[in-house]
Copies of this chain bind each other. A is one copy, B any other.
């Protein structure tokens, strides 16, 4: 299996982390999104949406969307709860991540880290919604060890990707002790060093 990804993208790292955790063999193909490498005719044949991560299996079939990819790769593993309702709560967090967390926290980080925009020039509405997402996680994680119950799941993988680097997008996690506790535990579950 080939993973077409950009190591600066949390969405791409989700796929790498799941493969590493489950010892699935893969070849990582670096794609530089800033240089437009997702918009070449060759890449668009792999994924018409022009987005990374995209995986290509050995038989030539492809799959895109980070959360769909990790859900497929982790099928049958302990990263997906065997109880149907618990798996549905995992899905709830993963859809929420793409709709209510990533568009604010990852986008602010992208603008600061890659477009070199100062924090003071970020869209205040995006900042506000990013903090609302963090507040919701904090509230939940103050009463629950992981996002979809007590066991580490793909919901934690998915939300870890950009929450652990939220400070790079100007977000201050000082007032979010449960989220910080969960970031550390999730990093250890995946064998990752603490994000700087």
What is A's interface to B at a CB cutoff of 8 Å?
48-49, 61, 63-69, 71-72, 75, 84-85, 87-89, 91-92, 94-96, 98-100, 102-103, 136, 139-140
The distance in angstroms between the C-alpha atoms of A102 and B72, with both chains bound, is 23
In the complex, the answer to whether A91 meets B103 with C-beta atoms within 8 Å is no
Which residues from chain B contact A91 at a C-beta distance below 8 Å?
Answer: 65, 67-68, 71-72
- Closest CB-CB distance, A21 to chain B, in whole Å? 18
Q: What 11 additional pairs, Cβ within 8 angstroms, besides A63-B85, A64-B92? A: A48-B136, A63-B89, A65-B92, A68-B89, A68-B95, A69-B88, A69-B92, A71-B91, A75-B84, A94-B95, A95-B98
In the complex, the answer to whether B95 meets A65 with C-beta atoms within 8 Å is yes
Q: Which of B48, B61, B85, B103 contacts A72 (CB 8 A)?
A: B85
Identify the 3 closest CB pairs spanning chains A and B, nearest first: A72-B88, A68-B91, A65-B95
In the complex, the answer to whether A48 meets B100 with C-beta atoms within 8 Å is no
In the complex, the answer to whether A48 meets B88 with C-beta atoms within 8 Å is no
Q: Which of B69, B84, B136 contacts A49 (CB 8 A)?
A: B136
- Closest CB-CB distance, A10 to chain B, in whole Å? 14
Which residues from chain B contact A89 at a C-beta distance below 8 Å?
Answer: 63, 68
In the complex, the answer to whether B88 meets A68 with C-beta atoms within 8 Å is yes
